[in-house]
A and B are shown apart, each in its own frame.
Chain A
Amino acid sequence: MSIKFLEPSDFPEAAASLAEHGDEAKIIAGGVSVTLMLQQKLIAPPVLVSLGRIAGGDSIRQSSDGLHIGALAKLRNLEQSSVVQEWCPALAHAFRVVGNVRVRNQATIGGNLSAADYAADPPAMLIALGASAQVFGPDGKREVPLGEFFLGFYTTALRPTEILTGIIVPPLPTSARASYHKFSSISAEGRPCLAVGAVADFDADGRCRDLQIAIGAAVETPQRVDTAEAMARGESLTDELIAAIAEEYAQALDPLTDVRGSAWYRREMIRVFVGRVLKEVRDGNR
């Protein structure tokens, strides 16, 4: 097919191209999702707007207000970045477990989040960390908490002419610990059956001050369960409480069935892995 391939040099130019071509244009970054959809003939956009030439779009830097990640940062760079590792080893881990190294060398975090494939790893950890998406559009910039970014299968809060330009991960208190687990029910390099990201903050007595747990890959969009998280506040994370929280997650969510597991199995795995991740957060390092 003859596709028009545009290479804007900055986000405003890219957004302008999107606006100009409307329905006919599709953004492409690393190309991992887009190429698959093109190959499977699920989409046939006459125009591709590539973000590959946007300078500085892949930056990874610490700042007082948080960890700033450019949407064009490759998953491989994120996984290996000492900035990310220092900020939150669990986050580096969430990037590391995606697919295989060949995929990660190509895929960008912006592309990963914008594709909104339910069976993805990074979203759950980023949501547990309270990250926000930075969006650029015709009306300027806005920020969307990642917990509100995913609306459904392959559907995000991005308006048709908007582009995800970066992510901000707010600072973690030094008393907080995080853990991420990808559960592959079948092949080691396959997409996850279940993704669990957890961040817990503890006070000096070891009681849980705050808890965020996000579940991904088991449900249509990554989700937290407020009622379950509330159970932990002010309490010590005993084995019994952890089991109760895990049970609450298993009951509150409505998991889906696919080739990696039935709804029944996913519900069991939610119970098991929320429990395991909470124990890791309780007992482990940052």
Chain B
Amino acid sequence: MQIKDSFVINASQEKVWELLFDIPRLSKCVPGVESVEVLDDKRYRGKLIVKVGPIKSEFSGIVTLAEVIPPERISGSVEGDDKASASSVKASFSGTLATVGAGTEAAFVVDLNLRGRLAQFGGPVIAATAKKLTADFARNLRAQLEHQVS
């Protein structure tokens, strides 16, 4: 499944890029992130809790960065699993930033592959959940940056 989106943030491209690497602040932008640990300069370990109604899943996994081209492009992959639901997720992502007037346009693509028991949940539910997660991320990112008046 692929999710593609783009949005404009009222902040400079440098400030946006800075936030992407400010792990504590960035983690707060992703709803359901529980703990993030820096393993090395390219890898992070974390936990993500996703709830759909009564169904709660907890994915533990690793984010590995591939390309890091400041201040415009970042890409990488995520691999995580939720033992309790015998499910796992593999995703690859890429994000690009571009200056647009006084702000920044952030565009991203996520290719997501959910496997295991949760994958049987139903296409529309998984798609909607993934879209909501990325939409919330975008909104929180914007909020973090636009409240920073400097």
Contacts and interface: CB of A to CB of B under 8 A. Distances in A.
Interface of A: 26, 37, 40-44, 115-116, 118, 152-155, 220, 256-259
A258 B123 contact: yes
A44 B54 contact: no
Contacts of A26: 54
21 contacts: A26-B54, A37-B55, A40-B120, A41-B86, A42-B55, A42-B85, A43-B55, A116-B53, A153-B52, A153-B124, A153-B129, A154-B53, A154-B54, A154-B55, A154-B125, A155-B53, A220-B124, A220-B128, A257-B124, A258-B123, A259-B123
B85 A37 contact: no
Contacts of B128: 152-153, 220, 256
> What 8 A-B pairs are tightest by C-beta distance, nearest first?
A154-B53, A256-B124, A42-B55, A153-B125, A155-B53, A258-B124, A43-B54, A154-B52
Nearest to A151: B53
Interface string B117-150: 1101111110011001000000000000000000
Interface residues of B, number: 18
Interface in B73-89: 84-86
Contacts of B55: 37, 42-43, 154
Contacts of A37: 54-55
Given A154-B54, A154-B55, A220-B124, 7 more contacts: A37-B54, A41-B117, A42-B54, A152-B53, A153-B124, A154-B125, A257-B124
A43 B85 CA distance: 9
Nearest to A153: B125
Interface string B27-68: 000000000000000000000000011110000000000000
Nearest to B123: A258
Nearest to B86: A41
Contacts of A40: 117, 120
A258 B120 contact: no
Contacts of B129: 153
A152 B123 CA distance: 15
B124 A155 contact: no
Contacts of B52: 153-155
Contacts of A259: 123
Contacts of B53: 115-116, 152-155
Given A43-B55, A153-B129, A220-B128, A258 B122 contact: yes
A256 B125 CA distance: 9
A118 to B, nearest CB: 8
Nearest to B126: A153
Given A40-B117, A153-B129, A257 B84 contact: no
